[in-house]
A and B are shown apart, each in its own frame.
Chain A
């Protein structure tokens, strides 16, 4: 591996010449190369139509969730109105597409998401000036209010938002560039993948700039930042505009992908789901929202097909996550990676198996109860029986209910036993790791 030796030749006279030794960061090249490879290869592995639409959705959801995490994770700003910037970006993009179709705008179709991004940044510059005046809790309430404001306005101006039916466009309009017409879904996917990679890289690079660092400082200790001489409001405002820009790009890609945008894309439900899944993925690590975005698409497309009660599961998982793993899935992964790095993961394996097994039993019981209640509420016209994981449950007979409650109770009791054992082992492992780290420091 070649190392780069850099001499600070431009050092001012009198200052001591410093020599920097900077080895190439192999891990970074591997990770980003792997990410690019994954984006490129995915449609070759998953070739079905459903997989293709899901991959496309994941691509722009990653951008949207990452842009959201610029606020939540990097800046400590809990926004309840992120869909405003995504949605308005999408509307601007769809209007741009229609202008291209009418021949009044000379822009290649692949540049349309940038139009969305500019619109998102513009709206964020306008609204963010008001919202970023406050931080923390008040910021959250104001973004909620502004989100409702825009959502209500979407129904007031059917000329721009298309009313109930939304606005549709044709992405194959305009002149094809290099023979790419965006007719086939795979071409759209690769455009989304390209945007996804570039935006992810840009957002990562942002965390390494002075602005990104100041944003973290504003999150952690705004008072001290003020004393150092920065204006926290300006830092938040800049971050808000940048987040709006990338959210708008994501929105523009949704417009390009679906060729239709409806008024509910600026609504509170969308904002809520961006928040929920970004948090589930993990706000503490840069890659957390990527996991969140993948989960979002899986939940909305696949999980909602399996069960009607998916939103209640989602809400419960979210609450458990906030209580027990506030760092989301990414922090769980990183904690276990640390254990693995010290070669102690094998010791925890049996505990994990026990946890997983007993948890599955408890979940199966709980899910049976939820499914039966949903069946009573929604599908009672279809008869009293329902199929659940290979078993036939009868909502009119007591033994089905009793069985479900029994399975859940047993599962919970066993899970608690397994959890205690796991906690003991986990704490032990963590202590050993801490000790090991101290020992290495001394050496």
Chain B
């Protein structure tokens, strides 16, 4: 029971972090049709910016400053690079973000070095929140969940209940009409891209100290959020939410399990020796298989339900 509760809570907090990332990716994709390969790089940038700004202004202000800086980088990139390649089509857009992820990785290594930086949870949030079945649940995990939910609700309110959201939605479907009404549509897109990057930056600020802030963090989480977006259904926020929690839980539970098919067979009374067919496969522990589970889920999803969990379109 203890194991179950801890894993459940950890899985949910990791899943919510994944959703913070995949929501920004989904937003940018559904609004601009751009698949942002560098989204995880913005996550990394957010963590590193937070590390540096925390040294100067402390954690709480950097909770605001670091995402803004990341958003500014994203907006500048949209203005000077992405907009230029827009006319070459979606492949060129994907390629330029691929190039950006490459450059950001190198710049981060150039500025902050190749090893992990010491970006810590602030003292006020350090420590257990409550104890359940003898296991402590850290305050910071609860804080992460709170921030994630707060962010999602505010983004949803912004898009569906305000005038700004109305203009953004209009610019998506009827750009000429919105332009005729006097709105600067390219600037709206710049804002959307910058906003998506800022969301990723915020995820970096609160994820960077919960996990590790190092140059490989973008490469580790990048493919996973793509899996989340495909499994959830391209462009579907609700699907991304379900898929993030699913993958967060699956990975957290799997890492903690030491059982293998070999053990199961042996306890069932089947004699398995190294000569048995498929022995290398049977002896793998579930915790060893954990890294590939999201990708297996992706493949299975594509075979049995190609449009994703909540996707609407095939194609």
Residues of B within 8 A of A316 (CB): 103
Asked if A377 is at the interface (CB within 8 A of a chain B CB), the reply is yes
Contact present for A145 and B35 (CB under 8 Å): no
* A322 and B110 alpha carbons, distance in the complex (Å): 23
Residues of B within 8 A of A76 (CB): 91
Contact present for B315 and A78 (CB under 8 Å): no
Interface core residue of A140, A153, A323 (most chain B CB under 10 Å): A323
Asked if B96 is at the interface (CB within 8 A of a chain A CB), the reply is yes
Residues of A within 8 A of B292 (CB): 148-149, 152-153, 156
Contact present for A140 and B94 (CB under 8 Å): yes
Contact present for A272 and B295 (CB under 8 Å): no
Residues of B within 8 A of A319 (CB): 81, 96, 99-100, 103
Pick the residue among A144, A146, A315 that contacts B102 (CB under 8 A). A315
Asked if B277 is at the interface (CB within 8 A of a chain A CB), the reply is no
Residues of A within 8 A of B303 (CB): 130
Chain A, residue nearest B291 (CB): A152
Asked if A357 is at the interface (CB within 8 A of a chain B CB), the reply is no
**Among listed B46-54, B124-132, B190-198, B221-229, interface-contacting one:** B221-229
**Among listed A28-36, A95-103, A131-139, A410-418, interface-contacting one:** A131-139
Measured CB to CB, the closest approach of chain B to A311, in angstroms, equals 5
Pick the residue among A144, A149, A279, A326 that contacts B85 (CB under 8 A). A326
Residues of A within 8 A of B8 (CB): none
Contact present for B99 and A311 (CB under 8 Å): no
Measured CB to CB, the closest approach of chain B to A403, in angstroms, equals 20
Binary per-residue interface labels of chain A (1-21) against chain B in the complex, 1 for a CB within 8 Å, 0 otherwise: 000000000000000000000
Which A42-58 residues have C-beta < 8 A from chain B? none
Contact present for B315 and A134 (CB under 8 Å): yes
Contact present for A138 and B103 (CB under 8 Å): no
Contact present for A311 and B284 (CB under 8 Å): no
Q: A130-B303, A138-B234, A311-B102 are in contact. Are A326 and B107 (CB under 8 A)?
A: no
Contact present for B299 and A130 (CB under 8 Å): yes
* A140 and B91 alpha carbons, distance in the complex (Å): 9
* A22 and B191 alpha carbons, distance in the complex (Å): 58
Contact present for B302 and A142 (CB under 8 Å): yes
Which A126-166 residues have C-beta < 8 A from chain B? 130-131, 133-138, 140-142, 144-149, 152-153, 156-157, 159-160
Contact present for B98 and A141 (CB under 8 Å): no
* A140 and B142 alpha carbons, distance in the complex (Å): 35
Q: A312-B103, A316-B103 are in contact. Are A322 and B315 (CB under 8 A)?
A: no
Residues of B within 8 A of A268 (CB): 219, 223
* A137 and B36 alpha carbons, distance in the complex (Å): 10
Measured CB to CB, the closest approach of chain B to A192, in angstroms, equals 29
Residues of B within 8 A of A312 (CB): 103, 106-107, 110
Q: A78-B94, A141-B229, A142-B230 are in contact. Are A133 and B99 (CB under 8 A)?
A: no
Chain A, residue nearest B29 (CB): A137
Asked if B200 is at the interface (CB within 8 A of a chain A CB), the reply is no
Which A66-92 residues have C-beta < 8 A from chain B? 76, 78
Residues of B within 8 A of A323 (CB): 81, 84-85, 96
Contact present for B298 and A315 (CB under 8 Å): no
Asked if A373 is at the interface (CB within 8 A of a chain B CB), the reply is yes
Residues of A within 8 A of B122 (CB): none
Which B78-109 residues have C-beta < 8 A from chain A? 81, 84-85, 88, 90-92, 94-96, 98-100, 102-103, 106-107, 109
How many of B's residues come within 8 Å of A, CB to CB?
46
Asked if A204 is at the interface (CB within 8 A of a chain B CB), the reply is no
Asked if B306 is at the interface (CB within 8 A of a chain A CB), the reply is yes
Asked if A275 is at the interface (CB within 8 A of a chain B CB), the reply is yes
Q: A78-B91, A78-B95, A149-B292 are in contact. Are A272 and B102 (CB under 8 A)?
A: yes
Pick the residue among B35, B85, B102, B107 that contacts A140 (CB under 8 A). B35
Contact present for A137 and B90 (CB under 8 Å): yes
Residues of B within 8 A of A318 (CB): 95, 99, 102
Residues of B within 8 A of A138 (CB): 230, 234, 315
Which A246-280 residues have C-beta < 8 A from chain B? 268, 272, 275-276, 279
Measured CB to CB, the closest approach of chain B to A72, in angstroms, equals 8
Asked if B169 is at the interface (CB within 8 A of a chain A CB), the reply is no
Contact present for A156 and B288 (CB under 8 Å): yes
Contact present for B110 and A149 (CB under 8 Å): no
Asked if B289 is at the interface (CB within 8 A of a chain A CB), the reply is yes
* A160 and B278 alpha carbons, distance in the complex (Å): 12
Contact present for A311 and B106 (CB under 8 Å): yes
Contact present for A149 and B299 (CB under 8 Å): yes
Pick the residue among A136, A145, A326, A374 that contacts B298 (CB under 8 A). A145
Contact present for A144 and B223 (CB under 8 Å): yes
Which B5-52 residues have C-beta < 8 A from chain A? 29, 35
Asked if A314 is at the interface (CB within 8 A of a chain B CB), the reply is yes
Contact present for B306 and A134 (CB under 8 Å): yes
Q: A268-B219, A272-B102 are in contact. Are A136 and B295 (CB under 8 A)?
A: no
* A140 and B226 alpha carbons, distance in the complex (Å): 10
Measured CB to CB, the closest approach of chain B to A335, in angstroms, equals 16
* A160 and B279 alpha carbons, distance in the complex (Å): 13
Residues of B within 8 A of A275 (CB): 98
Measured CB to CB, the closest approach of chain A to B87, in angstroms, equals 10
* A147 and B110 alpha carbons, distance in the complex (Å): 27
Residues of A within 8 A of B177 (CB): none
* A319 and B108 alpha carbons, distance in the complex (Å): 17
Residues of B within 8 A of A374 (CB): 110
Interface core residue of B81, B100, B223, B298 (most chain A CB under 10 Å): B223
Asked if B280 is at the interface (CB within 8 A of a chain A CB), the reply is yes
Measured CB to CB, the closest approach of chain B to A231, in angstroms, equals 14
Measured CB to CB, the closest approach of chain A to B73, in angstroms, equals 14
Residues of A within 8 A of B102 (CB): 272, 276, 311, 314-315, 318
Residues of B within 8 A of A276 (CB): 99, 102
9 cross-chain pairs, A with B, having the tightest CB-CB distances, nearest first: A149-B295, A315-B102, A315-B103, A312-B106, A319-B99, A141-B226, A137-B35, A318-B99, A148-B223
Query: Which residues of B are in contact with A by a Cβ distance under 8 Å?
Result: 29, 35, 81, 84-85, 88, 90-92, 94-96, 98-100, 102-103, 106-107, 109-111, 113, 219, 223, 226-227, 229-230, 234, 280-281, 284, 288-289, 291-292, 294-296, 298-299, 302-303, 306, 315
What are 12 inter-chain pairs, A to B, with CB distance below 8 A?
A134-B315, A145-B223, A145-B226, A157-B281, A159-B280, A279-B95, A311-B102, A315-B103, A318-B95, A319-B81, A322-B95, A323-B84
Given contacts A138-B315, A142-B298, A315-B103, 14 further A-B contacts (CB under 8 A): A78-B91, A130-B302, A136-B90, A136-B91, A137-B94, A137-B234, A145-B226, A159-B280, A276-B99, A322-B85, A322-B96, A322-B99, A323-B84, A370-B110
